[in-house]
């Protein structure tokens, strides 16, 4: 577990002490105390942040699998600022366990900070996205802006065959794909 807190340092220290006391009580009551205690000791961290925005930034860097937002005021405001998490639980009555087993969309969420780039398992995981393109006469109309833009970008990337393929589709190509500057 990671605790990110912000505001007055003395208030934060008092809050963290209360959380640590509660954590100790709950660890002692667990039948898996030994394993849980090792997990907390090796993975638990506390971050004291000066501002709400700094706390959001620190949290987004971790991109946690589960993220509970518990603040005195403005839980939704804080939640709206967060970008990287697997599952978000807002308010004191909402908890990870509810998302995992009762109210949440799933129990398979990104771990190890991977929530910065992927979401949790969902129906979209099993869908295959396919893209397609169809040519139309208007693509060649006028000076063929889209085609000439594609050729220019391909040239910039050094992909001369791609550029030549685009140029063949220009109205003025007459079957000539390579220009003298394309060969340079």
Residues 6 or more apart in contact with residue 123 via CB below 8 angstroms: none
* Orientation angle between helical segments 9-29 and 33-43, nearest 10 degrees: 150
Distance of CA 145 to the CA centre of its chain: 35
For this structure, is 65 an active site residue?
Answer: yes
Catalytic residue selected from 20, 34, 52, 66? 66
Catalytic residue selected from 13, 24, 52, 65? 65
Rg (CA), the chain: 27
Q: Give, in order, the Cα–Cα distances in Å from 183 to each of 26, 60, 109, 159, 176.
A: 72, 47, 50, 11, 13
Quickly list H helices, the chain. 9-29, 33-43, 52-62, 75-81, 96-101, 145-156, 160-167
Rounded CA separation 182/166 (Å): 12
Q: Give, in order, the Cα–Cα distances in Å from 50 to each of 24, 91, 106.
A: 26, 21, 34
Catalytic positions: 65-66
């Amino acid at each position: 577990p990671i605790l990110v807190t912000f505001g007055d340092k003395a208030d934060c220290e008092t809050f963290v002490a209360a959380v640590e006391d509660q954590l100790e009580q709950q660890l002692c009551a667990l039948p898996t105390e030994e394993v849980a205690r090792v997990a907390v000791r090796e993975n638990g961290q506390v971050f004291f942040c000066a501002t709400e925005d700094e706390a959001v930034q620190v949290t987004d860097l971790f991109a946690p699998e589960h993220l509970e937002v518990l603040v005195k005021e403005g839980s939704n405001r804080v939640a709206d600022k967060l970008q990287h998490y697997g599952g978000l639980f807002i308010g004191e009555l909402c908890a990870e366990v509810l998302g995992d087993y009762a109210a949440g969309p799933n129990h398979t969420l990104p771990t190890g900070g991977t929530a910065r780039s992927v979401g949790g398992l969902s129906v979209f995981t099993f869908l295959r996205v396919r893209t397609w393109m169809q040519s139309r006469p208007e693509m060649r109309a006028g000076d063929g802006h889209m085609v000439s833009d594609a050729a220019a970008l391909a040239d910039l990337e050094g992909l001369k065959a791609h550029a030549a393929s685009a140029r063949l589709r220009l109205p003025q190509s007459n079957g000539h794909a390579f220009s003298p500057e394309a060969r340079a």
